[in-house]
């Protein structure tokens, strides 16, 4: 059953708002008027659906009365119509329940995505690089922007760590299900016996934190500069352009060295730091930070997995929803939509059941 009392309250509020936004005295107060218009727009689809639901209820009652008619033909027609309307009412009820589900306030945010190798040595680093490419291709397909924040590569072309920002409408809503340990099963190029190895890489998806989300005091920061290392030519090793920022209250550390400019590295490091602090503070509200972080990122152990990428069989399996696709190459090329949509649907259904 739907929460009629809650819907009636929404209906009354919607009627009140329709009068407020048409009031000339309110229209003159633009900030207040815009707030009412936004609330009106949010309520409108729910109230419209509720009105349709009430009409269906009325039609059902009319059919019940007609089914008692002495005219058997009319009663039979009314019975057929009754079951048709009942089915429509159930569908509309389900639509309303979905509309009433609390939305994740982070869904429209951009994403800070972190990838690190787990178990499996150098092979896990190579797999982490494959995951990085996969997410960048996924972003390209949606015409989103993927920006490297911090990329540390191994000598063989794998990853020690990658932090990227993905900017696009609803980025977090689609990528939040990617957090966890990803497992790969394949024959490494260095394996002479042709044996299949299992390796893992971990992914963490953080919503980008804005200034309004997190306030950071300069006195809480320890900032170190140093010479960059690794690939990048002679320049990176000659100037102290790399930045390491430590947030003293939480102990969170972020380092960036990809840019030649110290200022650009600082800006990138601050973006990552804000998102990590935001995640920490949000989790602290529930007093479950350590557990939440463990669940999201995992330890990189082979047994802690959300998804398996099996190269010999050309399949990708998401273990949370027991879904397998035999289109591994296409999936790794960024065509992840089928599994992501299935995960979102499973999440909604789980929330519906818990209501």
For residue 308 the two structure tokens come to 């398996």
39: pLDDT strictly greater than 60? yes
The predicted structure's pLDDT at residue 185: 95
Question: For the chain, which domains are there?
Answer: 4-100 (no CATH), 111-212+302-353 (3.30.70.1660), 218-285 (3.30.160.20)
In this prediction, residues 111-127 reach a mean pLDDT of: 92
Nearest by Cα to 321 from 335, 304, 306, 309: 306
Highest mean pLDDT among 79-93, 150-164, 219-233: 79-93
Q: Is the model more confident about 228 or about 57?
A: 57
Band the pLDDT of 125: cuts 50, 70, 90. Answer: very high
The predicted structure's pLDDT at residue 228: 66
286: pLDDT strictly greater than 70? no
Contact 18, 2 (CB under 8 A): no
Q: Which of 39-48, 140-149, 158-167, 192-201 has the lowest mean pLDDT?
A: 192-201
Q: Is the model more confident about 256 or about 190?
A: 256
5: pLDDT strictly greater than 50? yes
Q: Is the model more confident about 170 or about 189?
A: 170
289: pLDDT strictly greater than 50? no
Q: For the whole model, what pTM was predicted? A: 0.65
In this prediction, residues 106-112 reach a mean pLDDT of: 88
Q: Is the model more confident about 287 or about 352?
A: 352
291: pLDDT strictly greater than 60? no
DSSP calls for 148-173: EEEEEE-TTS-EEEEEEEEESTTHHH
User: Which H or E run includes 243?
Assistant: strand 242-247
Q: Is the model more confident about 241 or about 239?
A: 241
**From CA 274, how far away is CA 217, in angstroms rounded?**
11
Average pLDDT over all residues of the chain: 85
pLDDT tens-digit profile of 59-95? 999 999 999 988 899 999 999 999 999 999 999 998 8
The predicted structure's pLDDT at residue 211: 54
Band the pLDDT of 292: cuts 50, 70, 90. Answer: very low
Band the pLDDT of 213: cuts 50, 70, 90. Answer: low
207: phi then psi, degrees, rounded to nearest 5? -70, 140
Q: Which strands make up the sheet holding 221-226, listed edge to edge?
A: 221-226, 242-247, 252-256
Band the pLDDT of 138: cuts 50, 70, 90. Answer: very high
Band the pLDDT of 285: cuts 50, 70, 90. Answer: low
Report the percentage of the chain scoring pLDDT > 90: 51
Helices in the chain by DSSP H: which ranges?
4-20, 24-27, 30-66, 72-100, 122-141, 171-175, 235-238, 262-285, 289-297, 328-332, 337-353
Report the percentage of the chain scoring pLDDT > 70: 87
Cβ burial of 346 (10 Å; 0-12, 13-18, 19+) is middle
């Amino acid at each position: 059953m739907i929460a009629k009392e809650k819907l009636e309250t929404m209906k009354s509020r919607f009627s009140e708002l329709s009068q407020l936004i048409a009031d000339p005295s309110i229209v003159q107060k633009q900030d207040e008027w815009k707030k009412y218009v936004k609330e009106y727009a949010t309520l409108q689809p729910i109230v419209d659906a509720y009105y349709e639901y009430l009409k269906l209820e009325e039609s059902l009652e009319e059919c019940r009365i007609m089914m008692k008619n002495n005219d058997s033909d009319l009663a039979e027609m009314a019975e057929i119509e009754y079951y048709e309307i009942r089915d429509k009412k159930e569908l509309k009820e389900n639509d309303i329940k979905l509309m009433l589900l609390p939305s994740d306030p982070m869904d429209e945010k951009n994403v800070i995505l972190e990838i690190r190798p787990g178990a499996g040595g150098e092979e896990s680093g190579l797999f982490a690089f494959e995951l990085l490419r996969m997410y960048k291709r996924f972003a390209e397909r949606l015409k989103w922007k993927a920006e490297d924040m911090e990329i540390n590569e191994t000598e063989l072309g794998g990853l020690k760590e990658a932090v990227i920002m993905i900017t696009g409408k609803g980025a977090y809503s689609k990528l939040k299900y990617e957090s966890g340990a990803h497992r790969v099963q394949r024959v490494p190029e260095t394996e002479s016996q042709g044996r299949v190895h299992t390796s893992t890489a971990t992914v963490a998806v953080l919503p980008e934190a804005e200034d309004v989300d997190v306030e950071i005091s300069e006195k809480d920061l320890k900032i170190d500069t140093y010479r960059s290392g690794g690939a990048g030519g002679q320049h990176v090793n000659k100037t102290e352009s790399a930045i390491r920022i430590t947030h003293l209250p939480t102990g969170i550390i972020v380092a960036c060295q990809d840019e030649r400019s110290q200022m650009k590295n600082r800006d990138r490091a601050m973006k990552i730091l804000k998102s990590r602090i935001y995640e920490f503070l949000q989790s602290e509200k529930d007093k479950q930070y350590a557990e939440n972080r463990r669940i999201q990122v995992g330890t990189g152990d082979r047994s802690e997995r959300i998804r398996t990428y099996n190269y010999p069989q050309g399949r990708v399996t998401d273990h949370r929803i027991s879904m397998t696709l035999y289109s591994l190459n296409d999936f790794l090329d960024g065509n992840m939509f089928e599994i992501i949509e299935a995960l979102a649907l499973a999440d909604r259904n789980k929330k519906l059941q818990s209501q």
